[in-house]
């Protein structure tokens, strides 16, 4: 494992990592609010130890110090929001995502066809490509849609998009503390939702990179890109995909521009980025989107 914290861009890039495009407009969610989408897990109230300051941590990310944090009673989605669920939202409201308004989003180069026409990349993470026409309906760009991926987590959604969906669903985004308490699954201080071993007994417990990043993924866990939600075992609270698969937006506002993402994605690998842990976090701008960023929702009420 490397001792230096890698740049956030290696994990999920920001729109300002390339020449800025015109800012996307704001969109009103028209249509009737739909009460509930997806299965909720009721948790709390509880006090738990949040954060990490051991050899796994990136101090520059603000993971530590480890501290006692109280969360009130809340409920959280068992899975990330899927393509099917997001499609229902768009069908009901006519919502246009930020990626669609900008006309492009970031796609991991290893998912692009061999004849892909080169476009701008991220300077310190050239495996991220600016792909015109990439959005939630077209995760790798215009040439490929969502066939067979209705139960995969929706991607290419910004923080603003996640808020809009949550409002329509009668929910909200979880706070960082709620998210981490839920992700820990009742374990105290463990690195992963199931314990401290990445692959206990040789078993893959999440969708992350295997092989030599970023050029060779052996797909030992069965996946190159996103996996269906619930493809791996749940944690002690019954939640799935809290680490690996896709980064998830949290409600927290760091400053005027930055928001927080949690959980890592299918691109995490210890050789470069070990942010596939329950305490790991990164920041991104509220209008950013990428092919490994999604979200799940929460509510204040139990049940």
CA torsion sign, 235 to 160 to 128 to 124?
negative
The reported pTM is 0.90
Q: Where are the domains of the chain?
A: 8-30+38-299
pLDDT bucket at 33, cuts 50 / 70 / 90: low
Tell me what the pLDDT averaged over the chain comes to. 89
Which of the four pLDDT bands, split at 50, 70 and 90, describes residue 20? very low
Helix (H, G, I), strand (E, B) or coil at 49: strand
Backbone angles phi, psi at 99, to 5 degrees: -60, -40
Q: How confident is the model at residue 5 (pLDDT cuts 50, 70, 90)?
A: very low
Question: pLDDT band for position 115 (50/70/90)?
Answer: confident
pLDDT band at 150, cuts 50/70/90? Answer: very high
Instruction: Domain 8-30+38-299: state its class.
Output: alpha beta
Among the residue ranges 28-42, 168-182, 195-209, 216-230, the one predicted with the least confidence is 28-42
- Sign of the C-alpha dihedral, residues 163, 126, 245, 52? negative
Whether residue 50 has pLDDT greater than 80: yes
Phi-psi sector, 173: left (phi>0), alpha (psi -120 to 50), beta: beta
Tell me which of 147-156, 249-258, 286-295 is least confident: 249-258
Q: What is the pLDDT of residue 28?
A: 53
DSSP state for residue 80 in the 8-state scheme: P
Phi, psi of 92 (to 5 degrees): -80, -25
Secondary structure of residue 222 in the 3-state scheme: coil
pLDDT at 118: 72
- Give the Cβ contact number of residue 68 at 10 Å: 9
């Amino acid at each position: 494992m490397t001792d230096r914290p890698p740049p956030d861009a290696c994990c999920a890039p920001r729109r300002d990592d390339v020449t800025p495009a015109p800012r996307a407009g704001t969109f009103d969610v028209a249509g009737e609010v739909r009460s509930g989408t997806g299965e909720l897990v009721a948790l709390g109230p509880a006090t738990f130890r949040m954060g990490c300051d051991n050899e796994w941590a990136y101090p520059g990310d603000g993971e530590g110090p480890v501290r006692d944090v109280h969360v009130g009673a809340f409920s959280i989605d068992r899975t990330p929001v899927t393509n099917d669920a997001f499609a229902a939202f768009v069908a009901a409201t006519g919502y246009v995502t930020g990626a669609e308004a900008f006309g492009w989003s970031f796609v991991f180069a290893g998912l692009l066809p061999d004849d892909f026409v080169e476009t701008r990349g991220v300077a310190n993470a050239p495996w991220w490509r600016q792909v015109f026409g990439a959005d939630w309906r077209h995760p790798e760009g215009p040439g490929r849609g969502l066939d067979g991926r209705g139960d995969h987590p929706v991607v290419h959604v910004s923080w603003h998009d996640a808020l809009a969906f949550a409002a329509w669903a009668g929910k909200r985004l979880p706070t960082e503390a709620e998210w981490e308490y839920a992700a820990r699954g009742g374990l105290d201080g463990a690195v992963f939702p199931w314990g401290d071993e990445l692959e206990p007994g040789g078993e893959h417990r999440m969708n992350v990179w295997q092989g030599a990043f970023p050029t060779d993924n052996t797909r030992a866990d069965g996946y190159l890109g996103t996996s269906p939600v619930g493809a791996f075992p749940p944690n002690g609270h019954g939640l799935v995909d809290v680490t690996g698969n896709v980064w998830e937006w949290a409600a927290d506002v760091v400053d005027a521009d930055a928001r927080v993402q949690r959980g890592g994605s299918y691109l995490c690998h210890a050789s470069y980025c070990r942010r596939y842990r329950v305490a790991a976090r990164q920041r991104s701008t509220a209008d950013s989107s990428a092919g490994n960023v999604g979200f799940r929702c929460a509510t204040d009420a139990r049940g």
